[in-house]
Chains A and B, each alone.
Chain A
């Protein structure tokens, strides 16, 4: 097996993964029923978890970057990559009822549709993409390229003028979920 990291990196990767899996399972999102409920807009657990994670993470990461503790690495992308790939992902997301992270959690939860069908599908689908990549790369994947653009650079304003309104909007959405009993 080709190991691409030091023992220390692997140790921390495993520790963080265990914590992430523990949290996903406690949140209920290792379950098909909860994820499909979100996509049917009847159960908002997935969005509640994601939005509160984004709110907490966004504030902490940008404060840490401000103090020079970390250097963020926003991923490069394009409309051809993120919009088309995102839609294909979404179709699969609803058919499978798990995503690449939560399927690992579903396997730990004992769900056999995840182990014997979903996992095989994801690995095979990823492998098929590797085969199709040369055909897609210079045509679709580079269409509408925006590189590693971030919202503050898009709007050409100080990052805190984006962070604080985004934080407020997320907070209001979560508040609305609770007020309307979603």
Chain B
């Protein structure tokens, strides 16, 4: 079982593993692998803590009902699976500033957190705008040969490459 304790596997082994996992999510749960809807459901649940059931009047939450479903526990499972993997290999660490960020922008925590927060806002907003994320469109949509999946996935990377270049070659 020493392979479970390795820090990193071949990306092809991981990719094939995810592909096979998707066969089973379809066979057993009739669901594609996806993540971003759960963040919208969580946003709705949090808003409900403050505004109560009035939140259900928002047209968006009539389509995406706030609550805990298959995908929500799937996303929670990711946290546990990644923790198990990193603890088994000794790769787990509490870290504020990633090393590539530190090499380019220094070890100050605040700029990293501000950028991550801004990035998260755009990511959450954009994933709901596009109707999916790197998993729902990028993996599950493309493998179903959905036009929505291919267009979204290509645009995720176009936007990402542009911003990464801006950040690391113009600003850094």
Residue from the set B36, B65, B114 with the largest chain A CB neighbour count within 10 Å: B36
- The listed residue (A72, A107, A109, A148) touching B91 by CB distance below 8 A is A109
| Contact indicator per residue, chain B 33-61, by CB within 8 Å of chain A (1) or not (0) | 10110111011111100000000001111
Find out whether the CB atom of B126 lies under 8 angstroms from the CB atom of A90: yes
Q: How far is the CA of A150 from the CA of B96 in the complex (A)?
A: 42
State the Cβ distance, B172 to closest chain A Cβ, in Å: 11
Find out whether the CB atom of B26 lies under 8 angstroms from the CB atom of A64: yes
The main secondary structure of chain B at its interface with chain A is: helix
| Contact indicator per residue, chain A 123-141, by CB within 8 Å of chain B (1) or not (0) | 1111111111110110001
Q: Which positions 84-143 of chain B face chain A at CB distance < 8 Å?
A: 84-86, 89, 91-101, 112-143
Q: How far is the CA of A102 from the CA of B127 in the complex (A)?
A: 14
| Contact indicator per residue, chain A 16-39, by CB within 8 Å of chain B (1) or not (0) | 111111111111101111001111
Residues of B within 8 A of A166 (CB): 145
22 contacts between A and B (CB under 8 A): A2-B66, A5-B70, A5-B73, A9-B70, A31-B98, A39-B160, A49-B15, A57-B23, A57-B143, A83-B151, A90-B158, A92-B118, A95-B118, A97-B101, A99-B123, A105-B82, A107-B79, A108-B79, A113-B98, A136-B129, A149-B146, A162-B145
Binding site for B on A (CB under 8 A): 1-5, 9-10, 12-28, 30-33, 36-41, 45, 48-58, 60-61, 64, 69-79, 81-97, 99-114, 116-134, 136-137, 141, 146, 148-152, 154, 159, 162-163, 166, 174
